[in-house]
Each structure stands twice: as C-alpha cells, then as structure tokens.
A and B are shown apart, each in its own frame.
Chain A
C-alpha cells in the first residue's frame, strides 16, 4: 500500500477505490491502478500457465492476460454471467485483466480509516492490504448481509498479487 499512500498523499489522505464483488464479498482496488473496465469476453486459453490465468484477450491490439481474481485470492472460481466484468489494471508497467463477478461503486475513503488485516491463524492475508468500511450504495442488504448500509471492503494489494513475479517463476 505504500505506493498508494504516496500517490494519494496530497489529496488530504483520501483515496478513491473501485469496489466489486467476488463470491459475494466486497473487494476494492485503488483507482490509480485501474486502467479500464470491460465487458466479460471469453479469453483465448493458454497452455502451461497457472490455473488462475484464464487466457489472453485483445485489448486494443495488446495481448493482455486475464486472471480469475477469485481463484487467485483462493476463493472458488467465478462463474461468468452477464454482469461479469474485466478490470484492466496496471501491474508494474504490465497490463492484466481481472475477472470480477460484478462491479459495484467508486468511493472515496480516508487513508486513516483503513485497518490492516488482523492476523488470523492459517489465514493467508498477504494479498489484502487492509479493511475499510464504506457506505454501500450499490447492492441491498440481503445480498451482502451487512447491517446498516455499511459494508466491509477488502482492499487488494495489487502488487502483492505478484502476477509478474509468479509468472516469471513459472517461465
């Protein structure tokens, strides 16, 4: 998260995050990493890649890998449907697409309100940068099961997904 802190520091400790749903849970990434949001399109499968790399797709003439973010984080694989989206993000200068179940909202959060993920036994939280509470304007309570209109957002540490490092190792 350090780089986000630096990027957003001048804006009075506020940062914008994009929230989306994976397996019924709300996740968020910093707007600064996001390049664009695209409709889901079945990518071309690749041989010899980790299971969460769903394939490659054509992004305006660029060949970009599409990653099942849910699988990457250890959740069951996303089923694709009409509201599935691809979040195109910038990862150390490389582009990658993340398959997410549903787009939610763009919200501004205060950096000070972000809590580090509590250390739990056996839970791999290395890819979670922090937890933050946001006012959920998108989905209703039944779906997310949160009291009030507040929802917990798991902020993803995009560099920690280490796609490039992991992929490099696979090569």
Chain B
C-alpha cells in the first residue's frame, strides 16, 4: 500500500518532467522546422527526449520507450550531421513529436495508446536514409504489439492511473451489492481512533446501534490497553469484533459509521471475501507507522519487497447511492490523490504573508495595555499564528527522501538490465532541502545512478577477478554543510579510465590531441556535451547526454558538480547545491545601531578582547592576538563605509571570529550580540540585485530587516586588501 502510494508520487513527478520535456522539445522542434537549426536547439530536443525515454524505461511504459528510442535515434543522427538538418526533416520530426506526446498521454492514462506504426515507419525511413515520405498513407490500423501499457510488464509494474481518475468513481461499481444475494453474516471490526474520541464519538453508541440491528460482540481486543495510570481517556484502545446477520444491507452499516472519525479502523466483510474496507487501519501510535516506513526506505535490500500489485480494495467504494454520499467516502476516493502538487511561488507567498501575520501580531501585542495583553484571546492568537507559520515553513522544506525514493527502483531495474549485482546504501535521506531543489535534482540523480551502475561498476566476474566483492556498492548520501547541500553518488567500481576518456574525447573532437590535461580535467570531460565512452548504445546509457544533463541542471540550481575517482576503487559524483530559501542558523549582532546576521556555521568563537589584545597595524587595520596567532579584525561599518559614528574601543566591543572554508579567518568587531535564532533567508536580487558582502536579508521578529553577512566574501576581501594574515600565515 505504502509502496503503491510512493510509486504514484514518483510517477507523478516523472509525468511532470515529461510534460516539461515535451514543452522543451516542441519549442526546439518548432524552431527547427522554422529553419533555426543550431546545435544547441538539436541538443536541447535530444536531451528532452532522452529524459522521457529514461523515465519511460524506469516505469515500464514500453510503448513510449520504444517510440522515444526510435525518435532519439533519428535525433542522434541529425545531431551527428548524418541526416541533413533541413526544415522538411524538422516538419517530419514535429509530426513524430505529436505521436510522442500521445504516447506520454497514454502512459499517464489520459488517452489510448496511439497507433504509432506510421510515425515509427517514418522515423525508421529517416534512419535508413530515405527521403521523407511526403504523405505517408495510413496503413489500416496495424495493431502494435508493444501497445499494451495496461498489462503488467516483466517488472511487475501495473499502472494504477485508473485509481486517480475521479470520474471513474461515479461509474457503477464493479462489486455492487448484487453479491449480497447470498446472505453470509457480516464480520465487523471497529477500533475508534483518538480523533474519533476527540470528536466526541461515543463507541458505545455505535455498538448499541449495531446491536439494535442484531449484531453481537464476539470479541473485544484489549491488547493495546495500557495500565491504568498510563491510560489516556481520550485515546481509543479497544478493538471490537462483531457478528451481524447477513440480511442487513451494507448501506445501513455505512450509515452506522457515518459519524465516526474517518481515520478510525472500520472494516466489515461478509463471511468469506472482503467486501469493503471503509477506512485504512490507523495504528494507535501514528509515529509507529512512520517509523516503519522510514525503516523500509533506509533498508538497503529492496529486492525482498514483493512485486507491486494494486490492491483491489483501493478501487472499491461502498455502494451507497450517489446523492447520499457521506463525507467519509471522500476519504476513500482520495486514497490515490492525497498529495497535491503546489506551485512553489504560491507557497512562498503564503510563507511571506504568514511571517507578516506573526510580526503584526507581536506589534499589536506591544501596543496594547498590560492588562489587555493578559487576556486569553491574544496569547491564543499568537500561538495559533506561530503554529501556522511552523506548518507553512515545514511545507517549504522537504526531506530529500522524496527525491531519493525513486532510486531503489531505478537500481533494481538497472541491475536486471545489466546483470550486475548492486547493493544500494542510502544515507541522510532525512536532510531537509528546499522544495525547488527536490524538484530539480530528480533527473540528475537518475543519470548519476545510471552512470554509476552502467559505467562505474564492473560485472561480477570482473569484480571477482579484481579481488572485490561480486556485489557492487552504490552509496547515495545527502548532508547539509553550512549553507550548502551536498549530494553524493559513489560507487566502488573500476574508477574512471582516464586514458580511455582522453582518447575518446580526442576522437570525438571535444579536445585537441595535444591539449595537456590534468586528471581533474579529464574527469570533467565526462560532463562535456556529447561525451560517452560506452561502446554500445543501450537503453540505459551511452548516448553521452546523461552527465551533460546533470551538469546543466545542477548549474541551473546555482550549484556545481565535483568528480573524484581512484582507479580500481571507484568514482564519486558530488552535487554541491545552495539552499535556496534556506532556514539559516544565525547570530544577530548589532553594529552602530544596525542589526546584521552572521551565519552560525561560520562562527568559531566570540571574544571580549582584553585591553591590548587588539593591536593596530595601521590607522585602518587591526589584528587580534588569538592565543598567539594574529587574526585580522574588521569593523563591518568600515567595510561597508556606511556610518561615520564614533568608534568604540575594542574593549567595549565583541570580536566574532568567523571562518571561511576558502579564505581563512577574520575577526568581526561588533557592538553586541543580540540573539541567536533560525532565520529565513531572503535574496536581495528578487527586487534588487546581489550586493557584494551580503548573502541576503532576513526579516526579524519586529518586522525590520537585518542583512546577512557573506563571510566568504568579507574574509577574502579582508585578506586581499593588505591585511593578509590568516591563522596559518601567522602560526609559522
């Protein structure tokens, strides 16, 4: 059930990517057909189709895969210049593109699988070098052998799109009450949830009602009942089982449970087969369920999970007449659609407004007289707004698990396709990243995993010959490092064969034969457009688009990609991404009446200098004696040249020692430290432009703005402007 839902979610993401990809491809092809034939346009279309193909393969949409593969073949030839890129070809590709769109719609369950025989033939004709057929005569409906997406394929995947189609639920039910003709007695199980109790549902009344209909309680399950002193009267602990005469209509039963909170456990079936499960079982301790899911996800051995099958229960609606649909039914309906995808900008707008609500609330509080502040309404309102804020915040930051959850499946399928044995290790999937990051890393992640398994890992025989465990390991990890998210895909395979990469790059004309290349340069060639070392072009990889896509997407996110490889020991690809709209842990400092934020990740320590500890090097530069090392000290107001106030003596100030990964240490002289808290980073370039020395701004509790210092920039500015003293430099 949970895997099913997960799959739906992943599929939904894939479909969204498909739609995006189609948009890109269409724009490119239109430009192409209109005569704008540039390498970038073709490469863009190629990438889009390649990604669609990849996803189609991963989800077992065979018809789509077949067609996209053919399409891609043609594009590849066009890209290579084997097929002349003329406007006619563009036209023909555009019509083939329409068939591709139909295939995507079919995969989404929105349309029938198109008859692609003609289009395929057209593409193959292009491949074979024939002139484009002007008006291909539609051969009378040749049935496509591969056009059967509804059939479970060898991966056991069954598209469950039907469950998403709400209209279907209005249709007469398959398992209508005709089955009631044989009057098997009903078996009813009922366990009210905490929510039901909180709503004031009285289980006793429900049971009395059932008894009135002729039911009798056969068993009361008291297993979950705690000792008396731990008993929470609001919690539902007991599960009743009842037996009821089969002559009672199911509808009457439905009515009986109408007013019980929908998350309660309610199940009734006729002696024999399950007819209706009105609601999902809800364990008393909700977190238990989550813990189980999390454990499942982190479990490395995904092979044991049984093949996915759509439980028929999902599709069953209690056969009550449509007009009298009780609210509980809605719950059953959305089993398949309980997640909503929301535009991130709308989420941001909400977040901004809620932040403002909190601020106005505290301002209102300040303006009220003390006795009014004590009134119960105001603290309640404040608490409520805080809660809303927390909730909205948590919407924006999502655990990276969402992006990682598609990986095990990809690995399984690649294992099957390459006949390699792979052990997938996942770490840090609870790392919270911004929604936009999750949305954008899906595709690069797929390519990186594919690359690691197809290119990185050796076959079992090779591994044994090399004295390695025949089962290869792919390690997928995510962690937050300061204001960056580091996502790494590492394998313990053969490593990058630099000689081969170099030769291939020369052969493909990516670099000149006499270019001197460092190991690092060679590793980076992997990300060059059109590069691939694979000897054969397969469904998995070898087109040389993959790593290009990775690099393009990562750069679009403002990140970078790092490759490190040790021959014989493995390769690791690292995406270093910024946290957009990050929640930053910051120290709020006050300098000349203005408040600034120093990101806590950069703060080493804060010192109140002793007299004489800060020494002047020149009228404008100072150093602090930090246990024998001299660290440059800067006043933020000097760096920014903002204020001409009287300078506090160092003894009246605090010095914050801040460290930058790249440029060493600096002491920032501030007046006071106000606070330390989590802050929402707002970019300055949304309405202005990026300013050197600032990494953004944040809105404080009173509605005012504090600027966030960019320590990296400040340190390098300080260390390049004369005062070149780092801890290392002075330690000698």
Contact = CB atoms under 8 A, between A and B. Distances in A.
Contacts of B687: 62-65, 94-96
B351 A44 contact: no
B691 A48 contact: yes
B133 interface: no
B352 A44 contact: no
B688 A61 contact: no
A63 B706 contact: no
A80 B549 CA distance: 53
A45 interface: yes
Contact of A168 (B352, B689, B692): B689
Contacts of A60: 352-353, 356
Nearest to A91: B687
Nearest to B689: A171
Contacts of A43: 705
Interface in A144-167: 164, 167
Of B683, B690, B692, B707, most buried by chain A (CB within 10 Å of CB) is B707
A21 interface: no
A65 B699 contact: no
B34 interface: no
B714 to A, nearest CB: 11
B612 to A, nearest CB: 30
Given A56-B697, A58-B705, A60-B353, A47 B640 contact: yes
B352 A170 contact: no
Contacts of B273: none
Contacts of B705: 43-44, 56-58, 63
A37 interface: no
Nearest to B595: A44
- The number of chain B residues touching the other chain, given as a range, is 20 to 34
Contact of B594 (A45, A62, A96, A168): A45
Contact of A63 (B353, B594, B682, B693): B682
Interface residues of A, number: 25
Contact of B693 (A44, A47, A53, A164): A47
Interface in B522-557: none
A167 B687 CA distance: 10
B442 interface: no
B684 interface: yes
Contacts of B693: 47-48
A44 B686 contact: no
B704 A58 contact: yes
Contacts of B688: 46, 49, 53, 56, 63, 65, 94, 167
B689 A44 contact: no
A47 B691 contact: yes
Interface in B657-715: 682-684, 686-694, 697, 699, 703-707
B684 A63 contact: yes
Contacts of A64: 687
Contacts of A95: 687
B327 interface: no
A7 B66 CA distance: 50
Given A58-B703, A63-B697, A47 B641 contact: yes
B684 A56 contact: yes
A96 to B, nearest CB: 7
B376 interface: no
B640 A58 contact: no
A56 B594 CA distance: 13
Nearest to B643: A45
A45 B591 CA distance: 12
Interface in B576-609: 594
B318 interface: no
A16 B444 CA distance: 50
Interface string B217-252: 000000000000000000000000000000000000
Interface in B617-642: 639-642
A62 B705 CA distance: 10
B720 to A, nearest CB: 16
Nearest to A171: B689
A58 B692 CA distance: 20
Of B355, B594, B682, B705, most buried by chain A (CB within 10 Å of CB) is B705
A95 B684 CA distance: 12
A61 B707 contact: no
B702 to A, nearest CB: 10
Interface in A14-59: 43-49, 53, 56-58
A61 B697 contact: no
8 contacts: A43-B705, A44-B707, A45-B594, A58-B699, A60-B352, A62-B682, A171-B689, A171-B691
Given A60-B353, A62-B682, A63-B683, 20 more contacts: A43-B705, A44-B697, A44-B705, A44-B706, A45-B594, A46-B684, A46-B707, A47-B641, A48-B640, A58-B359, A58-B705, A60-B352, A61-B351, A61-B355, A61-B356, A61-B699, A62-B687, A170-B689, A171-B689, A171-B690
Which 6 residue pairs across A and B have the least CB separation, nearest first? A61-B352, A47-B640, A44-B705, A171-B689, A60-B356, A61-B355
